[in-house]
Amino acid sequence: MNYFEILKLPIAYNIDADLLTRNYFSLQRSSESLVDSGLLNEAYNSLRNDIKRAECFLNLKNISTEKMSEELAVKMFEIREEYASFENDEDRIAFQNQIKKKKKELIEFLKKSENDLIKFSEIFSELKFLNSFLEKERADVYGRN
């Protein structure tokens, strides 16, 4: 069973968040649920998260979430280089805020691209990179303090 099936949702990126929550709580309360509570929680948390839900969706469509275009690889390198060039935290924070804004834009593009799996996959790859970049930088900042 995949996460969408567990939570009784159609396999789609664009899901009804209210229905997701209702189904989750209904299954949690149900004594007849055939799903382990740990798996139910994992499914719910994955489908609530835009990036994890996109990855689940692509995996179910048999599209690799690990491949990256040469263009994106160059873009990733440029972002890392630009970030490394900043000498103070103010510039780093401003840059991180730009990345967060870009992430939000990409999530909106995902919502509009669900029926074009190639485009969806390309957007997802960039979104996944930006997310991991921000997580790494957040970890580095906390590691310095």
Provide the token pair at 109. Answer: 């593009």
Measure CA of the first residue to CA of the last residue in the chain; give whole Å. 43
* Co-location of 81 and 140 in the same domain: yes
Q: How does residue 68 score in pLDDT terms, banded at 50, 70 and 90?
A: confident
Would you state the torsion angle of the CA atoms of residues 45, 50, 52, 54, taken in this order, to the nearest 10 degrees?
Answer: 140
Same domain for 111 and 77, yes or no, is: yes
Q: Which residues of 43-75 are buried (b: 16+ CB within 10 A; e: fewer)?
A: bbebbeebbbbbbbbbeeeeeebeebeeeeeee
| Inside any domain, residue 62 | no
Mean pLDDT of 138-145: 57
Residues 43 and 75 in one domain: no
Whole domain around residue 40: which residue ranges?
Answer: 3-48
Q: Hey, is 66 helix, strand or coil? A: coil
**Which of 33-42, 61-70, 78-87 tops mean pLDDT?**
78-87
**Residue 38 maps to a domain:** yes
* 94-104 residue pLDDT tens: 999 999 999 99
Task: Name the band, by pLDDT with cuts 50, 70 and 90, for residue 143.
Answer: low
Identify whether residues 84 and 39 lie together within a single domain: no
Q: How many CB atoms lie within 10 A of CB 134?
A: 14
As separate numbers, helices (DSSP H) first and strands (DSSP E) second, the chain gives 7, 0
In a domain, 57, yes or no: no
108 occurs within a structural domain: yes
Number of independent structural domains in the chain = 2
pTM: 0.87
Rounded Cα–Cα distance for residues 19 and 34 (Å): 19
Which DSSP symbol is given to 8?
T
pLDDT tens digit sequence for 1-12: 899 999 999 999
Residue 34 included in any domain? yes
User: What mean pLDDT, rounded, does the chain reach?
Assistant: 91
135 and 81 part of one domain:
yes
